[in-house]
Amino acid sequence: MSATLERAGLHVESVGAGPPLVLLHGWAMHSGLFGPLLPGLADRFRVHAVDLPGHGRSQAAAPDTLDGYVDAVARSIGAREALTVLGWSFGGQVALRWASREGDRVTRLVLVCTSPRFVAAPDWPHAMAAATLARFGDDLVSDWRQTLLRFLTLQVQGSDEGRRALAHLRRQLFARGDPKRSSIAAALRVLAATDLRAEVRSVTAPALAIAGERDTLAPAAAGAWLARAMPDARFARIDGAAHAPFLSHRAAFDRALAGFLHDAG
């Protein structure tokens, strides 16, 4: 059973039957990216694939805080039942904040190529330099389309199966229309300002951090740190993968995810 709804200004595609599983995509993308995962997940779950505010087909404006994203997603899901939430990249930061705020609702957490902080600091080397991210923001103004296409290339850089993943990313980038430039710029500012390290230890839900061995945007060391910091978490590194292992290394990704969902279920 499938349904497509507009809830609280967000575009939500729901498929399958079973306990609810929410999928949150990364910056400048949309939930259509998760298409290859849906058939397998829908066998066990009622999957809700959400377009974040200001992304994809969602009409809601992009918030200027991470809590604004959490509020919008929480309203779009509605019912107060226990949820498994899977977030990729920036979507993982939304999922982390949601779990730290509503631990009684987010009862299982999957963080895919996510970092508590995407910008490097003296005490946080597992990230890109602040100047690099700032240049990225400037490039969005001067040539947003080429900047986004270059960002896709960075997501698969170093992956030994990157060509297939890059082809899917390119097909999906504009599949729901041109990304809203003001919205993705606002989301980039939120991403640049977010640091979740202090609150990670309060996330008590069983969690899985999946990282790509060759990820340069959210290095595997960041995922390993998350798994150590959370009270009930495990870590899975996908060898040969970069920032999109669910596209480039499906078999290894599916094994890690299925094992966690089975054990934590």
- Running DSSP on this structure, what letter comes out for residue 58? -
pLDDT tops 80 at residue 229: yes
Tell which residue, 190, 174, 183, 137, has the closest CA to residue 9.
Answer: 183
Q: Is 11 a catalytic residue?
A: no
Radius of gyration over every alpha carbon of the chain, rounded to an integer in angstroms:
17
Q: What is the pLDDT of residues 33-63, one digit of tens each?
A: 999 999 999 999 999 999 999 999 999 999 9
Tell which residue, 264, 207, 212, 257, has the closest CA to residue 40.
Answer: 257
Q: What is the pLDDT of residues 126-172, one digit of tens each?
A: 999 999 999 989 999 999 999 999 999 999 999 988 898 999 999 99
More confident residue, 5 or 129: 129
4 φ, ψ (degrees, to nearest 5): -120, 120
Number of domains in the chain: 1
DSSP string covering 192-258, please? Answer: HH---TTTGGG--S-EEEEEETT-SSS-HHHHHHHHHHSTTEEEEEETT--S-HHHH-HHHHHHHHH
Q: Is 215 a catalytic residue?
A: yes
Assigned token pair, 87? 């977030």
Question: Which entry of 14, 31, 76, 89 is annotated as an active-site residue?
Answer: 89
pLDDT computed for residue 263 by the predictor: 86
pLDDT computed for residue 107 by the predictor: 96
Q: What is the pTM of this model?
A: 0.97
CATH classification at residue 84: 3.40.50.1820
Question: Which entry of 25, 55, 126, 243 is annotated as an active-site residue?
Answer: 243
Question: Which entry of 58, 115, 215, 248 is annotated as an active-site residue?
Answer: 215
Q: Residue 1: which pLDDT band, with cuts at 50, 70 and 90?
A: low
pLDDT tops 90 at residue 109: yes
Q: Which domain holds residue 253?
A: 2-263
Residues in CB range of 135: below 8 A, 6 or more apart: none
Q: Rounded to an integer, what distance in angstroms lies between the CA atom of residue 239 and that of residue 227?
A: 17
Q: Is 89 a catalytic residue?
A: yes
Assigned token pair, 57? 């087909």
User: What sign has the CA pseudo-torsion 244, 250, 254, 255?
Assistant: negative
